[in-house]
Each structure stands twice: as structure tokens, then as C-alpha cells.
Amino acid sequence: MSSHTSQWWDSDLALDIHECLKQRHACMQENATRNLHGVSDLMYLRRYLVDWMALTCQKFRLTANSQHLAVTLYDHFTDLYSVSMEDLKVLVICCLQVASKFEEREERIPKFNHLMDYLQWELKASDYLHMELKLLSAFDWNIGFSTASHFKEFYMQVALSARDLHVGRPLGHNREEIHMYIEKNVNYFLEVSLQDPAFLGFKPSLVAAACFASARICLSISPTWTAELRQQTNFSWADLSPCIEIMLRLHDEDRKATQEMGKSNAFPSNQYQAPLNSTGNTPIASPAVSSEFDEGIVSRQPRYGYQPPQHPNHGYLTKRV
């Protein structure tokens, strides 16, 4: 949903738009030839690339919708095509640019030369345009994927109910503050959902709903899944459980890693029991600066025994059969 349509979640047509977003995702999956299978030869680099795109979006103040769409375009394109290492740099820039053109107001779209100045790269505009045409053609110029980020504001309307309890007590005057921290935690879990390929197998609307359930668990808000949330999202607790389990495991790993780095205040001491100031930050292990793209690529080794192809295709993109 383009940012030109503001606050669709508050309109009388919100339910229809929500259903349209879910249907559009299904149609886009079909148009992309197949569902995501995570078969890219460069899957071992995905976490680094997603973090790198996140930092670049922050630098140019792009919205979460742009960030999520950029990653979605990257995932689908690399699932369809074998991409050489020399094409990788222009591809990630292209995904960011195309996503921002779709999601942002015109004045917010980063200029190509500004990106190059910031990144200190020397990509040719002609190479970028060639990749952009390749990317758009891969999806028949229909790049309006629905992402988990697109569902967030619609679900935020029922993030708290009148009957909710915090650590077993009524919300009282803290309702507005708790609502703010729910959103902070939801943003954290949305970042987590981008970084781990385990979430590629879930529908974006389900991932978004699981972010809300996980946020409520981390903030000790009960019940975890309310009737209002179930009605708004159309997902039951049973639907969400597999996704939530992964989110909470990754949250716990982040918490433990942060504590080991001497930042014990960032996460709660008891698993999944958080004070109101917990979470809400970008997961650790992000690359230091955007200009270290090449060094970051070189320094990352294939994980789990996976080896990249020994014979790169020297700049050409080969479609998978």
C-alpha cells in the first residue's frame, strides 16, 4: 500500500483493504512463479544484506514499508535468478530504490547520485538501469507485495483491550504508555522477521500478527491473544504458535548475546518477562557502517557447510529452472 494513501486503517473500508492486502500477497506469489523456497546461492549472505539495507534505510529516513518491500523484492528475485557477486551490489541498491519509489513520497526518494556519494561507490547509472529493468520485468512490473509491515497499523488499533492486565494488574493510567511500548516491541519483532529466513515460509499478515502476540508476551500482558486481535487479524493462537515460537527463541538469543556484551539493561533477566522499557531496538550484529559493504561480503563465510558456486556467471543473471 503506497504511503500516498494515508491512514487506510482508520477508514470505513479498512476491513476490505485488509482482505485485499492478503489476497494481493497470494496473487503476487503466483505471479512470482512460485512461493519462496530460500534456494538462493547467496543465502548465507542474506542476514548481512538485510542489516545493511536496514541501516541504509535509516540513513535516508525511509519508512518500514520501504525497508520490508526492498527485502521482499531481494528475496523473490534471488529465489528466481542466480546472481553473481559482482551483480549483488547493484541489486541491493536497485531493490531499495524501487521499493522507495513505490512506497515513499517523491521528495523522500533517495537520488542515485546521493546514494553513491554516501556509499562511496562508483556504480554506473547504465548498470543500475539495466538491473532495474531486470527486476521489474521479473515481476511483470507488479511489485506491490504485501509485507508484514503493511499490516502493522491496522493491528495496532486493537493492540490493547479494556480487559487486558499487565503483570496480573489492570492497566489503569498506564494504558497509553503500555500501548507505546507494545508498538516499540512490535517494531523489534518486525526487524527480527526480516533478518531470519525461517520467516519466509509464513504469510506476511501472520508474521505481523505473531509480532503482536510476541510483544504482549515480552511485556507480560495477558491474555496473550484477545478476541479483538483474533477478529482483526483472522488468526487463532494455533495459527500463530509456530511463528511465535521462533520469534521468542530469537528474542532470547538476542537477550543473552546482549547480556554477554555487558548491556544487561536492554533485556529482562527472566525469559519472556519484560519491564515496559524492554526490547524495541534493532537486533545486534548489524554491520558497523554502510561503506564497509565489500569488506562485509568478503568476511562472511558460508554457514552450515553451504558453499557458494565455484564458477560465478560473470555479471549475467541466470533464471532458475
The band of 218, judged by pLDDT with boundaries at 50, 70 and 90, is: very high
136: containing domain: 33-145+288-319
Instruction: Note whether 196 and 164 are same-domain residues.
Output: yes
Kindly state whether residue 106 falls inside one of the protein's structural domains: yes
- State the pLDDT at residue 61: 94
CA dihedral 51, 55, 56, 61 (to 10 degrees): 130
Burial 191-216 (b: 16+ CB within 10 A, else e): bbbbbbebbbebbbbbbbbbbbbbbb
- State the pLDDT at residue 5: 45
The band of 196, judged by pLDDT with boundaries at 50, 70 and 90, is: very high
Kindly state whether residue 300 falls inside one of the protein's structural domains: yes
Q: Which helix (H) or strand (E) holds 240?
A: helix 237-260
Instruction: Note whether 116 and 215 are same-domain residues.
Output: no
Question: What percentage of the chain carries pLDDT values higher than 90?
Answer: 49
Residue for grid cell 504485501: 146
Phi first, then psi: give them for residue 270, nearest 5 degrees.
Answer: -100, 135
Instruction: Note whether 43 and 86 are same-domain residues.
Output: yes
Task: Over range 173-192, report the average pLDDT.
Answer: 92
Instruction: Note whether 124 and 216 are same-domain residues.
Output: no
Kindly state whether residue 18 falls inside one of the protein's structural domains: no
Residue 201 confidence (pLDDT) above 80: yes
pLDDT digits (tens, 9 = 90+) for 86-101: 889 899 999 999 999 9
Cell output for 20: 485485499
Domain count, the chain: 2
Angle between helices 237-260 and 204-218 (to 10 degrees): 60
Kindly state whether residue 7 falls inside one of the protein's structural domains: no
Instruction: Note whether 165 and 198 are same-domain residues.
Output: yes
Instruction: Note whether 172 and 82 are same-domain residues.
Output: no
Task: Over range 235-257, report the average pLDDT.
Answer: 94
Kindly state whether residue 163 falls inside one of the protein's structural domains: yes
The band of 8, judged by pLDDT with boundaries at 50, 70 and 90, is: low
The band of 30, judged by pLDDT with boundaries at 50, 70 and 90, is: very low
Instruction: Note whether 67 and 176 are same-domain residues.
Output: no
CB 47 within 8 A of CB 250: no
- State the pLDDT at residue 48: 92
Residue 18 confidence (pLDDT) above 90: no
Kindly state whether residue 182 falls inside one of the protein's structural domains: yes
Report the Cα–Cα distance between both ends of the chain, in Å, rounded. Answer: 31
Kindly state whether residue 13 falls inside one of the protein's structural domains: no
Who has greater pLDDT, 282 or 184? 184
- State the pLDDT at residue 171: 84
- Which residue in 122, 100, 124 sits closest to 110, CA to CA? 100
Average pLDDT, the chain: 78
CA dihedral 25, 28, 33, 39 (to 10 degrees): -50
Separation of CA 164 from chain center: 28
Task: Over range 134-161, report the average pLDDT.
Answer: 92
| Residues whose CB is less than 8 angstroms from the CB of residue 309 and which lie 6 or more positions away in sequence, other chains included | 41, 82
Instruction: Note whether 160 and 202 are same-domain residues.
Output: yes
Instruction: Note whether 52 and 76 are same-domain residues.
Output: yes
Instruction: Note whether 124 and 49 are same-domain residues.
Output: yes
CA distance 311 to 303: 19
> CATH code at 216?
1.10.472
> CATH code at 40?
1.10.472.10
Kindly state whether residue 221 falls inside one of the protein's structural domains: yes
Instruction: Note whether 94 and 199 are same-domain residues.
Output: no
| Residues whose CB is less than 8 angstroms from the CB of residue 234 and which lie 6 or more positions away in sequence, other chains included | 205
Task: Over range 2-26, report the average pLDDT.
Answer: 57
pTM of the model: 0.75
- State the pLDDT at residue 37: 64
> Using CA of residue 243, residue 145, residue 114, residue 293, what is the dihedral sign?
positive
Sheet with 169-170, edge to edge strand ranges: 169-170, 165-166, 221-222
Instruction: Note whether 56 and 110 are same-domain residues.
Output: yes
pLDDT digits (tens, 9 = 90+) for 44-54: 899 999 999 99
Residue 251 confidence (pLDDT) above 60: yes
Residue 308 confidence (pLDDT) above 50: no
